Amino acid sequence: MRQNLFGNQGFSVSVLGLGAGEIGDGSIPEDHVGHLLNLAVDSGINLVDTAKGYGLSEERIGRHLSWRRKDYILSTKVGYGIPGHADWSFGCITEGIETALRLMKTDVIDIVHLHSCPVEVLERGEAIDALERAKHDGKIKVAAYSGENDALDWCLKSGRFGGLQSSINVFDQDSIQRVIPKATANGIGYIAKRPVGNAPWRFADQPNGHYSETYWHRMKTMELDFGADWQSVALRFTAFHSGISSCIVGTTNLNHLKLNVEIIEHGPLPSDVVDHIRNCWQKHQQGWDGQV
């Protein structure tokens, strides 16, 4: 699978990555998760993105994938949930990284994000200091931030992050112009999260309470309908957008994973389709911000 340099951070990532949020769900059988993770890497996916907050995800990556650690770039997120440490404190970040290293059975994590903390936390500085110390100590390779809007802007401006992650999809285009070009110019690797917008076209009626609910409304407002081609159009729109290093689709379905890999092989969308989607956004968006 085609790979992109992760900014100027010294390694490459596959255009399609694996969002490992959903595999943290304990009701999904262990052997299924093992099969999915290894199928992803066997298919050429070399970026696996997880977080402290994704249930069993980090532990399962360690259990099922660490035997082939050289085959994938590992990305996680920290900042909370460490007993004895206040969330976002220096100790919480440092211990969070140690915990992730242990759970994922590795000596170094390639990309570690602060997981959606607000600007006030960033301004205090200690969370970033802790990431930088971990980088200095060789425990992580890239200090990164995952989040949206004013906090994302703050991180870009600070010059202290080698990687950024934000929601980029047909229904969430806010950072495409405002953030990505400057990130590219500064050698920052960029991961697109929620890259197919949680596939809202699967729902005929408003999906109350589902993660895709906001995007479902935006889809209707934008008056877009790609029928049976939705997955292909949505995925290629995000995956091949200039400045994006990788897009991390979440799935627990083996067939969906295989389909996504096939879709990527078709390459970028025709430019008139991209322009149409960009124009629909410009025309219909009503101050829509990035969705965490």
Ligand X SMILES: NC(=O)c1ccc[n+]([C@@H]2O[C@H](COP(=O)([O-])OP(=O)(O)OC[C@H]3O[C@@H](n4cnc5c(N)ncnc54)[C@H](OP(=O)(O)O)[C@@H]3O)[C@@H](O)[C@H]2O)c1
Q: Contact positions toward ligand X, by CB under 6 A?
A: 19-22, 49, 77, 115-116, 146, 165, 193-199, 211, 231, 248-253, 256, 259-260, 292
- What whole-number distance in Å separates Cα of residue 223 and Cα of residue 212? 16
CB of 202 to ligand X, least distance (A): 6
Torsion from C-alpha of 159, 95, 48, 67, nearest 10 degrees: 140
Of 32 and 137, CB closest to ligand X: 32
Of 94 and 251, CB closest to ligand X: 251
CB of 211 to ligand X, least distance (A): 6
- The first and second tokens of residue 209, run together, are 């309470």
CB of 256 to ligand X, least distance (A): 4
CB of 163 to ligand X, least distance (A): 12
How many Cα atoms occupy the beta-carbon half-sphere of 272 within 13 Å?
Answer: 0
Of 4 and 252, CB closest to ligand X: 252
CB of 33 to ligand X, least distance (A): 12
What's the gap between Cα 146 and its chain centre? Answer: 8
Q: Are 48 and 40 in contact (CB under 8 A)?
A: yes
58 Cβ contact partners less than 8 Å away, ≥ 6 residues apart: 50, 51, 52, 76, 100, 103, 104
Of 94 and 231, CB closest to ligand X: 231
DSSP letter at 166?
E
Of 137 and 150, CB closest to ligand X: 150
Torsion from C-alpha of 86, 89, 95, 98, nearest 10 degrees: 140
